[in-house]
Amino acid sequence: MYSEILVPTDGSKAAERAIDHALDIAETYDARIHALYVVDTSIYTSLDAGADVVIDALEREGDAATRHVREAAEEAGIDVQAEVVTGTAYRSIREYIDDHDIDLVVMGTHGRTGLSHYLLGSVTERVVRTSPVPVLTIRLDDEDEDEADADESADAEAEE
């Protein structure tokens, strides 16, 4: 049923939960996992100076996130392919689906609603609406969401 499973990752707790589900499905169907991290360059095009530094940092973050998926898949004996690409997140995911004959996408969602959803948008929502293949979304439960929010707050404070 499924032979090529795409797991877009951003290294978040929501992505972590999606990875676990994708590995279970891949093991069941003897499928290959594709780990994808998109460096969304559209956000940084207005930066005159320093954009290269930010993009380089995001590419390193992407390498770490996809390496994590690769290691988890290899540990489980699952064939895996990992890639870091640049572009608009949902469009790059759609292109990857088409270019690699993906038949299932498993991705995390933060479950934002209201103003934060409106302001931040949702890559997952856009993928769900435009994907030619099934998309399994894995939402953080309330406990994980609170923990993720606390981690984000701590990260923001550490950067200041």
DSSP string of 3-62, one letter each residue = SEEEEE--SSHHHHHHHHHHHHHHHHHTPEEEEEEEE-GGGGTT-SSSHHHHHHHHHHHH
Q: Tell me the mean pLDDT in the region 127-143.
A: 87
Query: Is 17's pLDDT higher than 60?
Result: yes
Query: Is 117's pLDDT higher than 80?
Result: no
What pLDDT shows up at residue 52? 78
Query: Is 104's pLDDT higher than 90?
Result: yes
pTM to 2 decimal places: 0.82
Question: What DSSP string runs through 26-37?
Answer: HHHHTPEEEEEE
pLDDT band at 21 (very low <50, low <70, confident <90, very high): very high
Q: What CATH number is given to the structural domain containing 141? A: 3.40.50.620
What pLDDT shows up at residue 40? 85
Token readout for 81 is: 């392919």
Residue range of the domain that includes 26? 4-159
Query: Is 41's pLDDT higher than 70?
Result: yes
What pLDDT shows up at residue 153? 47
Q: Which helix (H) or strand (E) holds 149?
A: helix 142-159
Q: What percent of the chain has pLDDT over 90?
A: 60
Q: Tell me the mean pLDDT in the region 97-113.
A: 88
What pLDDT shows up at residue 37? 96
What pLDDT shows up at residue 119? 44
pLDDT band at 123 (very low <50, low <70, confident <90, very high): confident
Total domains in the fold of the chain: 1
